[in-house]
């Protein structure tokens, strides 16, 4: 049973609303990843189109800075472009991309010279983020609720914010989240439980209270 299923709770509404925008993807056509591994820029652009928005949304959930999120998402895909040949299991592409994004965010947080961050000269021309395509959930969630979600996320520590985003918004399994974050499944479950309780307290006045799942 999916841990994100919360019945009529406010977290179910939030998760379902964002997931419809983030996760509505068909499977990649057979051979796309293999072609991209071989240096086919068009094939990699297909991967970018498929996963660009969810990766960007995940990063923005963590850094709460739209401009920085764009920069870090672009760096994530530049790194992926350069190292895709090292991906051993094509079925884990999404997990691999989110893991790169997590590392990029962590490195950015440790860096005191964020403004000097540069995208390498090997960046393909196809990897351009269109202005206005940063957060896909805006079409579904009204502005007030979106603001409340952002403020509630900001109150979570990084570990809880990361597991909440990956599990609720991006519908990742605990095994996938563990691979992305490096944390044990036991810690992830504890962090998610606490994050959901904290988010529920922030949002219940807006959406109505609901029993714990």
Where residue 120 sits, what CATH number does that domain have? 1.10.1740.10
Residue 212 lies in a domain: no
Q: What is the pLDDT of residues 35-62, one digit of tens each?
A: 999 989 999 999 999 999 999 999 999 9
Q: Which residue has the higher pLDDT, 99 or 30?
A: 99
Residue 28 lies in a domain: yes
Residue 69 lies in a domain: yes
| pLDDT at site 143 | 66
Residue 174 lies in a domain: yes
> Range of 81's domain?
10-207
For residue 127, pLDDT over 70 is answered with no
Q: What is the pLDDT of residues 5-33, one digit of tens each?
A: 333 343 444 444 444 444 334 457 668 99
User: 160-164: long-range contacts (C-beta < 8 A, 24 or more apart)?
Assistant: 160/191, 160/192, 160/194, 160/195, 160/198, 161/61, 161/62, 161/195, 162/61, 162/62, 162/102, 163/188, 163/191, 163/192, 163/195, 164/61, 164/191, 164/192, 164/195, 164/196, 164/199
Query: Into how many domains does the chain fold?
Result: 1
Residue 3 lies in a domain: no
Residue 178 lies in a domain: yes
């Amino acid at each position: 049973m999916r841990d994100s299923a919360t019945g009529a709770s406010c977290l179910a509404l939030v998760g379902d609303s964002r997931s419809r925008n983030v996760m509505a993807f068909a499977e990649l056509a057979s051979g796309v990843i293999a072609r991209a591994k071989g240096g086919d820029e068009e094939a990699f652009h297909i991967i970018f189109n498929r996963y660009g928005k969810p990766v960007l949304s995940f990063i923005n959930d963590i850094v709460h800075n739209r401009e920085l999120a764009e920069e870090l998402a672009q760096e994530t895909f530049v790194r992926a472009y350069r190292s895709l040949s090292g991906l051993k299991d094509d079925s884990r592409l999404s997990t691999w991309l989110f893991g790169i994004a997590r590392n990029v965010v962590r490195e950015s947080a440790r860096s005191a010279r964020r403004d000097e961050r540069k995208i390498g000269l090997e960046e393909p021309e196809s990897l351009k983020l269109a202005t206005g395509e940063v957060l896909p959930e805006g079409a579904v969630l009204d502005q007030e609720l979106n603001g409340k979600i952002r403020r509630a996320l900001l109150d979570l520590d990084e570990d809880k914010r990361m597991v909440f985003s990956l599990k609720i918004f991006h519908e990742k399994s605990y095994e996938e989240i563990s691979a992305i974050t490096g944390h044990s499944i036991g810690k992830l479950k504890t962090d998610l439980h606490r994050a959901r309780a904290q988010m529920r307290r922030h949002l219940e006045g807006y959406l109505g209270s609901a029993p714990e799942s």
